[in-house]
Structure 1
Amino acid sequence: MIEILPLTDIGEVLPGSDLAAVLIAALNEARIEPTAGDVLVVTQKIVSKAENRFADLSAVVPGERAVALAKQTGKDPRLVELVLSESSEVLRSVPNVLITRQRAGHVMANAGIDRSNIGSATGEQALLLPEDSDASAERLWVSLGKRCAVVISDSFGRPWRHGVVNVAIGVAGMPSLIDRRGDLDRDGRRLEVTQIALGDMIATAAGLAMGEGAEGVPAALIRGVRWSGPNSPASALVRPLEEDLFR
């Protein structure tokens, strides 16, 4: 049986916080002892806060391209300039929507830059994704004594689907992607395309407990998942450009 155990006593994470210590304290408060096979899912937001990935919009000077995209999308030109600095490519820009390929390869709105639930008193700050989410997950995994795997999650929209779901942008201590190609189904037919996005599935499951608004639950432990295969980072989930069928 799979269990989702939310961590509710974390509080506001500040720049420079020892996030591993914060999470351990929350686990202890909830009387949860992580064991092998458990996965601790942590929202990108508290990872970015601890790593001080804040940007001060009042200090951003938008360039010509940012100004043009801001007019097209109706977004703050300073925010658009930040999005461009965090992106390798702009894929779509229409009123109220700016879709880019973030530096790590994630296709997402606004390069993952967020201004909600960041604890800013001035409203002039924005929060960027971690510099390297897989490296952040690895550091947490090691700091937690490798007692449980770690997934860093963020909420993504999906092509041709309304709404957002949580996906894995950082993974350590488990396979993010399980390749079942070559296995046999129940009828003995060989699987040709089946790959399991285990990191994304676990992140989405945790999202049921963590929520997307003012719930204040930035982490959850998933227990009861079984997997086999070598560890792989979240970057393994990003489809290479040469396999992009929609370009």
Structure 2
Amino acid sequence: MSRLEVWAPDGVPEVAAGDDLAGLVLAALADGAAGAAGLADGDVVSVTSKVVSKAEGRTRAGERDAAVDVETVRIVARRGATRIVRHRLGLTMAAAGVDASNVEKGSIVLLPLDPDASARSLRREIHERAGVNVGVIVTDTAGRAWREGQTDIAIGAAGLLVAEDFAGRTDPYGNQLAVTLPAVADELAGAAELAQGKLAGRPVAVIRGRADLVLPPGEDGPGATALVRADGHDLFGWGAREAVVRALAGAAADRHPFGAPAPEDELQAALDRLPDRADRTAVQAVCFAHGWVVDGWENDGVCRVSPATT
């Protein structure tokens, strides 16, 4: 039988800049909850990015939009006032993770400067003070493409396998798995959020039952950064409208999110779908989106192309 336990204690006080976060976490868990006292080796401690940011002094007075500008590397998509952006940490999220909830009016909270480092520090402090070997995740809330609603994900991790690689393994029917890679750190973050709730003031949770994911003391693992897909490797580097405009504009700085040059046969198949291959603007936009450039035009209107270089 497999069993997973998750609990989130009440009574965590308001966190301010400079507070001893490890001390607050250990104090909150000292009496235990859900029939499980304290912490044990192999537990995973989940803390929200909000309290990590508050302890690290990432609270600011001011407007949210201005802070979003500072935290944004590039805008992925915009619909009215809503901006989906690529954050300086590599995360693609709404409003760059800048949050104006659960904070004094007129203030906003930015994501931690380095959530993986924050997780490593908290894990080290828990081990030194309590003598237990735990994994740590720092969580934040994010939406998902094609899905309504939000769920919590791990934006920082330490002492934890953040993904289980099943590629090459065989299922019970004898089928070899090819690309199965459960993002277990995100799954743990979602489980923690179920116990924490959004309005209950429970920023800390413990997940027990997956000690197999927790690394030995001194091994922090790759962190949640390993779950961030590199810019240009995603199939959806731009929003639908933005992709059209960026391809038509053809600015060199906009090329990278479209990814590496597509195979030439894939480019030609895309060009064949154009209603008018003599429309040079359309041809150049399709080439740009596929990572190719038009080098010139023949007398019969056929273009010469070559892969773009970065």
TM-score (ref. length: structure 1):
0.86
For 2:54 and 2:31, how far apart are their aligned partners in 1? 22
Query: Aligned equivalents of 1:36 and 1:232: distance in 2?
Result: 20
**Structure 1 partner of 2:154:** 168
How many aligned positions are there?
Answer: 223
Which structure 1 residue ranges, 5 or more long, are not aligned? 58-77
Structure 1: distance between partners of 2:52 and 2:154: 13
Q: Give the aligned partner of residue 136 of structure 1.
A: 118
Of 48, 55, 60 in structure 2, the residue corresponding to residue 43 of structure 1 is 48
Distance in 2 between the 1:2 and 1:50 partners?
29
Q: Which structure is richer in relative contact order (CA contacts within 8 A, separation 6 or more)? A: 1
Contact 1:175 1:199 in 2 (8 A): yes
Paired residues of 2:18 and 2:56 also in contact (CA < 8 A):
yes
CA distance in 1, matches of 2:236, 2:110: 27
**What secondary structure does 1:46 align onto?**
helix
Say if 2:212 is the partner of 1:210: no
**How far apart, in 2, do the equivalents of 1:179 and 1:129 lie?**
28
Q: Which has the larger radius of gyration?
A: 2
Q: Secondary structure at the match of 1:151?
A: strand
- Cα deviation for residue 232 of structure 1 reads 2.7
Q: CA deviation at 1:219?
A: 0.8
User: What per-residue deviation string (whole Å, max 9, x for no partner) do you get for residues 138-180 of structure 1?
Assistant: 0000000052110111110111111010100000011111211
Q: What residue in structure 2 maps to residue 183 of structure 1? A: 169
**What one-letter code is carried by the residue in structure 2 that aligns with 1:38?**
D
SS at 1:182's partner residue?
coil
The answer for the alignment partner of 1:66 in structure 2 is none
Report the Cα offset of residue 79 of structure 1. Answer: 2.1
* Root-mean-square deviation over aligned CA pairs: 1.5
Task: Give the fraction of aligned pairs with identical amino acids, expressed as a percent.
Answer: 38
**Out of 42, 65, 68, which is 1:83 matched to?**
68
For 1:149, the equivalent position in structure 2 comes to 135
Q: Partner of 1:106 in structure 2?
A: 91
TM-score (norm 2): 0.69
**CA–CA distance in structure 1, aligned partners of residues 133 and 29 of structure 2:** 12
SS, match of residue 99 in structure 1: strand
Q: What secondary structure is seen at the aligned counterpart in 1 of 2:30?
A: helix
Per the TM alignment, residue 124 of structure 1 is displaced from its structure 2 partner at its CA by 1.6
